[in-house]
Structure formats: C-alpha cells, structure tokens
Chains A and B, each alone.
Chain A
Amino acid sequence: MIWLTWRQFRAQAITAAAALAVLAIVLLVTGIGLAHAYNDAGLPGCHGGGCAGAASLFIDEAKANIYHLVFYAGVFLVYAAPALIGVFWGAPLITREIEAGTFRLAWNQSVTRRRWLAVKLGLIGLAAIATSGLLSLMVGWWSSPIYAAAQQAAGSNSLSISRLDPPMFGAQGIVPMGYAAFAFALGVTLGALIRRTVPAMAATLAVFAGVQLAWADVIRQHLIAPVRSLTPLNVSAINELSITSNQTMTVVAAAKVKSTAWVLSNQTLTSAGKPFTGPPTNACISGTTQQCNAWLASKHLQQLVSYQPASRFWEFQWYETAIFLAVGLALAALCSWLIRSKRIA
C-alpha cells in the first residue's frame, strides 16, 4: 500500500520538491543580501533608543528594495501552499479514482478501504505538513531580520509590523503546518462528497479561503482573552477626532502599547465608563485645537485598549496549530466513514 501510495503520489511529490528547491535558491540568494544589510546597519545585538532609528532606516531601505517584493511573495506563498495542497493533492485523491473507475480495482484487492485511505491520508498528509513546514521555515529565516528590526524599531511609532497581525501571523512559525493538514483533509473530504475532481477542487479552494479569512478576522483573537488596559485619556496623543452633523463626536488617541502588539480595539470612554460620543461644545466645533483639548481634558475621559501582546505569539501558534490539526484529523475520520459506508460507486 505504501508503494502504491508513493507511486501514485510521485509526480506531485517531485513537482512540490522542485518548486521548494527553486524557492530555496531565490530565498537563499536574496536572504543573504538582506542579512548583510541588517549586519551593516549595526542592528545585531543592538538595544535602546539609538537602534530604533537605525532599525526604521533599515526597514525603509528594505521596503524600497526587491526585498519588499520577496517579503510579500514569501507571505503569499506560505498562505498559498496549504491551499494548493488541498486543491491538488487532497481533492483529486478520491475523485480521480472515482472518475477513472479505478477505485473498483483498488478496493477489490485484499486491503480494506479503511487501510487504503489511512495509508494515503497518513503519508500524503505528512508530506503536506512537511512541505508547508519547510516553506514556513525558509520564509521565516529569510524575513527574520525584518521582524527583528521591527521589534527594535518599536516605540518609534514610525511603523508597526506586528508578528501577531492577521496577515503576517499565519505566514510564520508552525501554523502553516496545521493549515496544510487541514487543507489536505478538507480536499479529500470534499472530494469524497462531491466525487468530481474539478468541482471538488473549486470547493476546496473556496472553503479553505473562507475558513482562513473568518479565522484571522473573527475567531483567532478569542483564543486567548485579550489584555484590556484602561488609562486616563492623554489629550495630547489624540490622532483622530471627528464630529458628525448629528452632533456625535468620536475621539481616538494613540494606544499606549508596544507597536508589536496586536491591537484589537481602541475606545474612548467617559469617566462613567460609557463610550464617549459627545456632544461637542463650541470649543471643539469652532475653537482651536488647544481649546478643544482643554475641554476634553476637563471631561476626565478614559482610554480602553484591548490587545494581544507580542509575547503571546508562540502561545497563539501552538493553539492554532493544534486546532487545525485536530479538525484535519476529524475530517480524515469523516472521510473514512464516507468511503466505508459505501456511498461511493
């Protein structure tokens, strides 16, 4: 069974390995340049205020260079790899057998369907996890100077690249492996349900992308209760003030958290703890900024910031990876049930 799995998976495995090899060369060549630039900026082992400026400079320089493109391409690829695995490895696994009728050959050898599927899911699933893990490792190595510089630049407020922010988080660490396991099992399951290759591939892509978006936007932030910080509003830090025609006033001040934190919400409250909505006085409608600030200061407003500190990065990584792996396993079990209950054929 292992031989057959390998024989049928060989072409895809070779394609994936070749793609990884090409990518490794690109990342190696540009990554060495980036690491040099980081060294040249004197950033390794640098702490304190002086570094922030140099780090900002380094990041600005990287942004103006090819590194900018490679960075985002890397992020994109780490996200794309699980989707591609689900679409090209997962979805056709069963549909191809159904469409060619070969399941009737395979399932009439002296190997139960359950084992047939278990070996295929196990081996190709491991390959999926390995591929995504390797990709994440490579891209992670490449972009480590950028994240390090962002950490060092923290406080200068000139930029904020948080490793926890939704677009970046899923492209680092171990979560891509969880995504890959999930996407692969999802593809196989949808294939078993839909039974036709192309619709199963399309459905896999749609469902996986939907889950990714919903997860990053809605679900992830609830995995761990966010930190809530309630502080008196610093009127001099106000960077957003608006008054609508129906006399509703919105005031937002800069959050007093590290720029590497993932800020979930930033609200201004009244001294009684209710959201501050005005109404504005003339000091703010027609007066100067000073007059308005003075009036706001007299109101003793409070600032409520809800955020996930950067230190929780690995905690999130482990939780999320575990959840996606578990869902992947559950899908594998569902799949095993689907084909054992003879709904195919």
Chain B
Amino acid sequence: MTAGSAAPEGRPPGTPPAAAPGELPRRTPPALDARGLGKRYGRRWALADCTLTIPAGHVVGLVGPNGAGKTTLLNLATGMLEPTTGTVEVLGGAPASGADQLAKVGYVAQDTPVYAGLTVAEHLRLGAELNPGWDDELARGRIERLGLDQKLKAAKLSGGQRAQLALTLAIAKRPELLILDEPIARLDPLARREFLQLLMEATAEQELTVLMSSHLIADLERTCDYLIVLVAGRVVLAGQVDDLLASHHLLTGPRRDPATLPADQQVITASHVGRQSSLLVRTDKPVHDPAWTVANVDIEDLVLAYLSRAASA
C-alpha cells in the first residue's frame, strides 16, 4: 500500500480523511467510478451504459442473474478487458495502467486460477517476487491456519483449497481494493464460513474495500454493507444496504391497481392473489396509507424482487 493513500486508523468507512492544517483537503477517490461503461462482444453487449460510483471503504456485494455482466464489469475494473464505450476509474486511476495501480487492486477471478504445476509454497514465493507490498507473515499465517501442506502442488488441492490459496495471494498483496468474482460458489459450507469470516477480519484490520460478486444472498447479507444489482448489463439497484432496506417496503392489503399509488411510491413487484395485493415498493417517504400492512424487507426479498421484475419485463 502506498503511504500517500493510507487512511488514518479508526475512521469510519467512507469518511474522507481529515486534511492537515495548511494542506488542501484531499478527496478520497471512489473505489470504482464508471461512466457510460459498455463492453460488446460481437453484436452482444455484455455490459451496457453502466454508470456507477462505489465509495471506498465498503464491502460491496454484486448480484445478478447469470450473464448479467458481473464478470465483465469486474474484468473491466481490473483492466483484464478494455471497454468498448465509456470509462472506468479504479481508486482514481485507470485499471492496470501501471505497477502502482496493479499493486492497489487484488483480484480473485471466477475460476480462482492457480498454477497447477506450482506448489503452495511456490505460489507464496510468486506473490513475494511480484508484489512490493507483499505481507509474507499474513500469507504464511493464513496457509498455516488453513492447514494446507506447503509442499503440495496446486493441482492436488480441492476446489475450496484452491480458492483459499488464490484469496491468500490477493490479500497478502495488501491491496486497497479487493475484487472477488464468485469466490464462494465452489466452497463447502465450512470453507465458506471461514472465507467470509476472514474477509470480515481483513476489512476490519486494514483499510480495504471489497467488491464481490455472488449468487449467495445469505452470504452477502452477512458481509456486505453496499449492494449492487446488475441485470442484463445494466445497474438496476445500487446503494448502502441500510438505505436500501429503509427505502423498500412490502405492502399487503386489499386488491388494488398499482397505478393508483402515490407518485413517490415506485412499484418494484406486484402480485395479486384473490382479493389481496402484495407490493414491493420503493419510496423515500414513510407509507401512511392505513389500507396497507407495511412490512420490512430483507436483502433476499429485495434482490429477488429486482431480479424477477427484470425477468418478467
């Protein structure tokens, strides 16, 4: 981690560091800033017109159906792909634009690639050789805790162990932003729990922003404080989890045409059974209509509502 971008200890995530007297206040660049970002393969847009700002200091969950463009977005953010349209900046710099930029971003790709012919110890050596900020103690500590035999070739590791090794490489590099593409789908429940715990420890210990895509909402619910829902190449929902939960409500009441709701209540999904309607609405104001029973939503309800709205559209 470069000294200039290290934030003071103990400040709450997302708050800009206080400027020293006589110094111009320095704005913390967002973890990711995409403007009109798009990527086309042949005639198909994998990601289209994506405008998105992710503030630093969050654990960000990225959810969406298969093929929504999650991996494309992450690959653009790491510079593995070049955008067709628009721009993306990561921590204020162009992705993969140089050694400094690369040092700031850790990436664990979807299939958690490791070198089959290299041993665990050789992977750690690889990390040490290729990263100036390498934290060898951290890396060895993790491998030890995981009970991985350092002499074992990566080809002999299980899927979960490989994922853990890839994650260790990405964390011990001491990045400011850690990008994880479906890191937990292949892990068994125990490995998953350990992985998420480690992730939370790592974010608590170092000033780390995490951007993580996953299909497992329960796991995101446990770790993320910021949520992005991506459907068909577009961002349909983005924001802090608390804000999103506060602004979405589940309304149940007598059957009613959603079009008759107040203008500030945006209907996300509506289902009508018999004489009863259930609506998931988004509004910044409290819902006072006495005809409705108002219930809170959880992240799973929220995500599934946005996904099924997109699927039926």
User: Which A residues contact B (CB, under 8 angstroms)?
Assistant: 1-4, 7-8, 11, 100-113, 115, 341-343, 345
**Could you tell me if A108 and B105 are in contact, using CB atoms closer than 8 angstroms?**
yes
**Residues on the A chain within 8 Å of B80, using CB:** 104, 107-108, 342, 345
**Could you tell me if B166 and A105 are in contact, using CB atoms closer than 8 angstroms?**
yes
A341 (CB) vs chain B CBs: closest residue:
B82
Considering the chains assembled together, what is the distance between the CA atoms of A2 and B78 in angstroms? Answer: 24
Which of the segments B115-123, B224-232, B284-292, B296-304 contacts the partner chain? B115-123
For the complex of A and B, list the 4 residue pairs with the smallest distance between their C-beta atoms, beginning with the closest.
A109-B130, A110-B103, A104-B109, A101-B113
Considering the chains assembled together, what is the distance between the CA atoms of A345 and B76 in angstroms? Answer: 10
A-B pairs with beta carbons under 8 A, tally:
82
Residues A342 and B79 in contact in the complex (CB < 8 Å), given A105-B109, A105-B113, A112-B99: yes
Enumerate B60-95 residues with CB–CB distance to A below 8 Å.
Answer: 75, 78-82
**Residues on the A chain within 8 Å of B113, using CB:** 100-105
CB distance from A205 to the nearest CB of B (A): 24
**Could you tell me if B131 and A110 are in contact, using CB atoms closer than 8 angstroms?**
yes
Considering the chains assembled together, what is the distance between the CA atoms of A107 and B126 in angstroms? Answer: 12
**Residues on the B chain within 8 Å of A109, using CB:** 102, 126-127, 130-131, 169, 173
**Residues on the A chain within 8 Å of B166, using CB:** 105
**Could you tell me if A105 and B114 are in contact, using CB atoms closer than 8 angstroms?**
yes
CB distance from B62 to the nearest CB of A (A): 17
**Residues on the A chain within 8 Å of B21, using CB:** none
Interchain CB contact (< 8 A) of B115 among A2, A102, A112, A343: A102
Considering the chains assembled together, what is the distance between the CA atoms of A2 and B129 in angstroms? Answer: 9
Contacts A4-B130, A115-B99 known; list 12 others, CB within 8 Å: A3-B129, A7-B118, A8-B117, A101-B111, A102-B113, A105-B113, A105-B166, A107-B96, A108-B78, A110-B133, A112-B99, A343-B82
**Residues on the A chain within 8 Å of B133, using CB:** 110
Enumerate B102-158 residues with CB–CB distance to A below 8 Å.
Answer: 102-103, 105-107, 109, 111, 113-118, 122, 125-127, 129-133
**Could you tell me if A108 and B102 are in contact, using CB atoms closer than 8 angstroms?**
yes
CB distance from B88 to the nearest CB of A (A): 12
Q: Does B98 contact A (CB under 8 A)?
A: yes
Considering the chains assembled together, what is the distance between the CA atoms of A7 and B122 in angstroms? Answer: 9
CB distance from B174 to the nearest CB of A (A): 10
Q: Does B184 contact A (CB under 8 A)?
A: no
CB distance from A37 to the nearest CB of B (A): 47
**Could you tell me if B99 and A110 are in contact, using CB atoms closer than 8 angstroms?**
yes
Considering the chains assembled together, what is the distance between the CA atoms of A115 and B82 in angstroms? Answer: 19
Q: Does B170 contact A (CB under 8 A)?
A: yes
**Could you tell me if B102 and A112 are in contact, using CB atoms closer than 8 angstroms?**
yes
Considering the chains assembled together, what is the distance between the CA atoms of A1 and B131 in angstroms? Answer: 10
**Residues on the B chain within 8 Å of A343, using CB:** 82
Residues A100 and B115 in contact in the complex (CB < 8 Å), given A110-B102, A111-B99, A112-B99: yes
**Residues on the A chain within 8 Å of B102, using CB:** 107-112
Residues A104 and B107 in contact in the complex (CB < 8 Å), given A112-B102, A345-B75: yes
**Residues on the B chain within 8 Å of A112, using CB:** 96, 98-99, 102
Considering the chains assembled together, what is the distance between the CA atoms of A219 and B5 in angstroms? Answer: 58
**Residues on the A chain within 8 Å of B106, using CB:** 108
CB distance from B306 to the nearest CB of A (A): 28
A to B CB contacts below 8 Å, 22 in the list: A3-B129, A8-B117, A100-B116, A102-B113, A104-B107, A104-B113, A105-B113, A106-B130, A107-B80, A108-B102, A109-B102, A109-B126, A109-B127, A109-B130, A110-B102, A110-B132, A110-B173, A111-B131, A112-B96, A341-B82, A343-B82, A345-B80
Interchain CB contact (< 8 A) of B107 among A100, A108, A113: A108
Considering the chains assembled together, what is the distance between the CA atoms of A115 and B166 in angstroms? Answer: 22
B130 (CB) vs chain A CBs: closest residue:
A109
Considering the chains assembled together, what is the distance between the CA atoms of A187 and B103 in angstroms? Answer: 30
